[in-house]
Amino acid sequence: MEKLWGGRFQKNTSSLMEDFNSSIEFDSKLYEYDILGSIAHASMLGKVGIISKDEAKEIVKALKEIKLDIESGNVEFKTEHEDIHMNIEVLLTEKIGDTGKKLHTARSRNDQVALDVRMYARDQVEEIIGLLKEWLETLIEISEKNIDVIMPGYTHLQRAQAILFSHNIMAYAQMAKRDIERLKSWLSIHNVLPLGSGALSGTTFPIDRQMIANMLGFDQICMNSIDGVSDRDFIIDFLGNASVGMMHLSRMCEELIIWSSQEFHFVEMDDQYSTGSSMMPQKKNPDAAELVRGKTARVYGDLINILTLMKGLPLAYNKDMQEDKECLFDGAETWIKCIKIMIPMVKTMKICDKNMENAAKGGFTNATDFADYLVKKGMAFRDAHKVTGEIVHYCIEKNINIEDVDIDKFKEFNSIIEEDLYDFIDIKNCCELRNSIGGTSSNQVLKSIEEMKKYIEKI
């Protein structure tokens, strides 16, 4: 079979090379974007008179048929046609003969592939923004449902202070909001049309790039043809955003895995999102959460892949760049799959509120409150810290909580301590009195939920 570029060659490509060179195995995924781009290109060629209007119409009609043929499974892509771009061009020429050969006027595969991949990435970004919105709604839903549940908050994974479970969950909502904002900023930076850059230096034909940008929904046109064909920042930024987004999911999964352990028993994953052991009959493992944590590693790998691919490439296009696709596809598909499993996994998990509350009562999570009480009675914070530390030490020795100490004993430590202390260090009050902006009181958490709801409406 003669190659589309075969004119200057005397020998056939070796079959080993054909296999090695071909990308159709993975870039066939781009068929839809390739056809959309070609339809816009052909329409533009017809409009400005580079080809006739009838020719443009014939090409567009045939391209639409090819799309249907592909979707109904009637097309077999061929390795010898290298990639999706040439496979479709060959199909076109098979369908309409010589007119099909005119499609590639004023275009190179270099600007064509840059266009296709960018449109693919843009669609993924839009889909992920939608999924993250659903994720935010899920986080809000479980926060609202469990608004009063108290749990220990941790630093160094040591019990630190009592917090509302909903406050902890809404922390992940803040992360998801930033993930959405990053993707929106991706759109404002990268929704730029590369087509019309030619092989690297533009074209001698009087093309209308604005028309193509309008047809394909691009906000801007790239203003340097060399950059147009060689820029893959849009993949790097996408995978950078994916890595951060996955890291957020992974951190939550890590918490859920710990909380699912019998030692914590703060949550129970629904059977639907857990699996068992082939050997140990009693086991129920939080596999979905573990897999999200695990898949985070592969998305980081995808990012390192594209960064390393690009670091040594001279301008403009180099064939190395054919390797830009699988990491993008993998990163996008993995991120999407992970958000999709997180939503029902979190929605269906059982919140063991009593266990959380009991844990919050232990571990002296109200020690800071005790010190704050002393400050409010006039003591300097550093002194209050010391007195509280001594009381904590006394309680550890006696194996009791602070609130179990009776008032006479407290007075031995310091006479300013009075009966009102007990209310002040009650676990519920410990949360409710933290009413500073962004604090863990239900008042503040409800405010943050309201704000998040307003944000969601504007996405």
Task: Give catalytic residue positions.
Answer: 156, 277
Residues forming a β-bridge with 193? 221
Q: How far is the CB of 319 from ligand ARG (least distance, A)?
A: 6
Query: Cα(90)–Cα(44) distance, rounded to whole angstroms?
Result: 21
Q: Which is nearer to ligand ARG, 318 or 355 (CB)?
A: 318
Per rule CB under 6 A, is residue 109 in the interface with ligand ARG? yes
34 with 24: CB under 8 angstroms?
Answer: no
Q: Which is nearer to ligand ARG, 120 or 273 (CB)?
A: 120
Q: Which is nearer to ligand ARG, 330 or 369 (CB)?
A: 330
Candidate list 36, 88, 113, 384; residue touching ligand ARG; CB under 6 A: 113
Positions in 292-331 near ligand ARG (CB under 6 A): 317, 319, 321-322
Q: How far is the CB of 66 from ligand ARG (least distance, A)?
A: 18
Per rule CB under 6 A, is residue 23 in the interface with ligand ARG? yes
Positions in 149-188 near ligand ARG (CB under 6 A): none
Q: Which is nearer to ligand ARG, 99 or 110 (CB)?
A: 110
CB count in 10 Å sphere of residue 423: 12
Positions in 27-86 near ligand ARG (CB under 6 A): 27, 83
Q: Which is nearer to ligand ARG, 306 or 321 (CB)?
A: 321
Candidate list 87, 99, 110, 143; residue touching ligand ARG; CB under 6 A: 110
CB count in 10 Å sphere of residue 437: 7
As a residue count, the chain comes to 459
Q: How far is the CB of 110 from ligand ARG (least distance, A)?
A: 5
Positions in 77-106 near ligand ARG (CB under 6 A): 83
Q: How far is the CB of 49 from ligand ARG (least distance, A)?
A: 27
Per rule CB under 6 A, is residue 142 in the interface with ligand ARG? no
Q: Which is nearer to ligand ARG, 256 or 327 (CB)?
A: 327
CB count in 10 Å sphere of residue 236: 18
Q: Which is nearer to ligand ARG, 120 or 317 (CB)?
A: 317
Footprint of ligand ARG (CB under 6 A):
23, 27, 83, 109-110, 113, 317, 319, 321-322
